[in-house]
Amino acid sequence: MLPLLRRVPRALGSAVAGLRAAPAPSPRPLLQPAPRPCVRPFGLLRVCAGLLRARGPCSCGCSELHTQGDKAFVEFLNDEIKEEKKIQKHKSLPKMSGGWELEVNGTEAKLVQKVAGEKITVTFNINNSIPPTFDGEEEPSQGQKVEEQEPELTSTPNFVVEVVKDGGRKALVLDCHYPEDEVGQEEEEESDIFSIREVSFQSVGESDWKDTNYTLNTDSLDWALYDHLMDFLADRGVDNTFADELVELSTALEHQEYITFLEDLKGFVKSP
């Protein structure tokens, strides 16, 4: 048995030796992923930049961008400015009757007057003061010019009336507006073309209303008290005549600022 056991390891050894002598199989090739396109961040910006560079430098020698679109834009603005100046009713702002002094700061305007120991200040801003046009308007008929069909734009801003007694520390502040269903209505002569929305007392010199001060909303106000507040304003010159003139003043100021905006826009697009 011992010789047999001795032969087994020899046989195994020769087999192992044969395995060592045999050449190693070639490794199985791995599947290579398909090449991915090169995606770089801001690649679209580089493409756009290349397209812009393809336009070439400006003929005036500057490094700014000038396109055919800019040129057409400037031509359009020139025509628009000419048309707006042609239909401009007031070359200068109209004056208010009743001795009101006008102070204008950009799009904000103040009307101030003093009456019997009181200072009344009316403040309004022309931004977003033109009501939107309705889509249900009739289309121009055949042979009728589009300009004749366009409605006249009217500025009806909200305005705030502030009444201060001489030496007083508080101001009675009334927030007023033009209801849409009342603007342009002339059937009822005695109806008010503006309304009071809120009433509050504020400290003199405060530019913004404080939420900690009580504010009276007129939606739930007794009509007798509301009528007395309207009479209070009328006695100080804020009545329907004032409201009509305020619309005319605001419309003129808005149109003036619109033309200035177009001129600034043209200069911005045109300038190198």
Helix, strand or coil, per DSSP, at residue 148: helix
Backbone angles phi, psi at 65, to 5 degrees: -90, 125
- Does residue 6 belong to any structural domain of this protein? no
- Does residue 228 belong to any structural domain of this protein? yes
- Does residue 199 belong to any structural domain of this protein? yes
pLDDT of residue 91: 87
- Does residue 17 belong to any structural domain of this protein? no
pLDDT of residue 134: 61
- Does residue 166 belong to any structural domain of this protein? yes
Q: Helix/strand/coil (H, E, C) string of 166-215?
A: CCCCEEEEEEEECCCCCCCCCCCCCCCCCEEEEEEEEECCCCCCCCCCCE
Q: Report the DSSP pairing between strands 101-105 and 195-203.
A: unpaired
Question: How many domains is the chain built from?
Answer: 1
Average pLDDT of each block of 10 consecutive residues along the chain (272 residues)? 40 41 44 38 36 48 71 95 94 93 97 95 96 62 54 91 93 94 56 95 80 90 95 97 97 97 94 70
User: Is the pTM here over 0.85, yes or no?
Assistant: no
Residue range of the domain that includes 171: 65-129+151-180+190-264
Distance CA 172, CA 227 (A): 16
- Does residue 12 belong to any structural domain of this protein? no
Distance CA 218, CA 143 (A): 49
- Does residue 231 belong to any structural domain of this protein? yes
- Does residue 247 belong to any structural domain of this protein? yes
The CATH number that applies at residue 169 is 3.10.280.10
> How far does CA 12 lie from the centroid of its chain?
91
